[in-house]
């Protein structure tokens, strides 16, 4: 069986992404017209701005200027500068102010895969095959560059545009949220890769631990159990 991906991965060295300093957060509104929020992904606030200067659309991400959050966001930006792939979110430019860090990416108007599945109720076999192949192609691309995402889930896979004309009329996905991603090869990387990270509600081990906790104050309630994704999401 021929397992070669039908998509062409875009290879490049680290890209030159503009890093722009602004005096005030309000200065950004001189560049972008803010639209409605499309989807919230982890610490990411994704919005639909329209740039007045360049006549382009993009996603805007902002982060509170806390040391740990700012460090994670800076790490994510460095990772995104090193990748250039059809199914990985494309970073366009970054804005810094005294209190906030913003970055602009390509626009994904279809929300995320979780929202898409909730709207459609189910995906066809062909749609599922296309999404899995696209995702696998992106993961192979990352791993060949010694990058491990570590937080792949439905909410971190955006939909560029449902039935995107640029993707043969099929669902065009974009892997996003590289805040927990790591580059392999450094000192202690084996321990980092093996440590638990990501969204706890997606971890079956965490679910069992919460159920078996001897302290009622920390034990998962019946309602919390029934609302857990391992119970509510059909597989």
Closest alpha carbon to 164 in 151, 175, 173: 173
Q: 27, 151, 164, 167: which one is catalytic?
A: 151
Residue 151 catalytic? yes
Lookup: tokens for 158:
């955006």
1-12 residues labelled b (16+ CB within 10 A) or e (exposed) = eeeeeebebeee
Strands 157-159 and 173-175: antiparallel
97-123 residues labelled b (16+ CB within 10 A) or e (exposed) = beebbbbbbebbebbbbbbbeeeeeee
CA atoms of 75 and 68, how far apart (whole Å)? 11
DSSP labels for 70-139?
HHHHHHHHHHHHT---TTBPPEEEEEE-SSEEEEEE---TT-BHHHHHHHHSS--HHHHHHHHHHHHHHH
Catalytic residues: 151
């Amino acid at each position: 069986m021929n397992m070669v991906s039908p998509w062409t991965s875009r290879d490049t060295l680290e890209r030159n992404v503009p890093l722009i300093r602004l005096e005030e957060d309000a200065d950004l509104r001189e560049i972008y017209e803010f639209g409605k929020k499309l989807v919230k992904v982890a610490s990411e606030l994704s919005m639909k701005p329209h740039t007045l200067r360049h006549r382009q659309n993009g996603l805007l991400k902002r982060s509170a200027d806390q040391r740990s959050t700012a460090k994670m966001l800076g790490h994510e930006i460095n990772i995104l500068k090193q990748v250039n792939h059809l199914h990985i979110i494309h970073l366009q430019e970054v804005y810094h102010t005294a209190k906030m860090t913003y970055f602009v990416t390509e626009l994904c108007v279809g929300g995320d895969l979780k929202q898409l599945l909730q709207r459609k109720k189910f995906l066809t076999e062909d749609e599922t095959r296309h999404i899995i192949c696209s995702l696998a192609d992106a993961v192979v691309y990352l791993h060949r560059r010694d990058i491990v995402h570590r937080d792949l889930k439905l909410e971190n896979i955006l939909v560029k545009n449902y039935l995107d004309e640029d993707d043969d009329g099929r669902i065009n996905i974009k892997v996003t949220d590289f805040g927990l991603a790591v580059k392999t090869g450094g000192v202690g990387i084996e321990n980092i890769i093996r440590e638990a990270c990501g969204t706890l509600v997606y971890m079956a081990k965490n679910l069992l631990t919460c159920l078996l906790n001897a302290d009622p104050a920390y034990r998962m309630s019946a309602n919390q159990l029934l609302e857990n994704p391992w119970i509510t999401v059909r597989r």
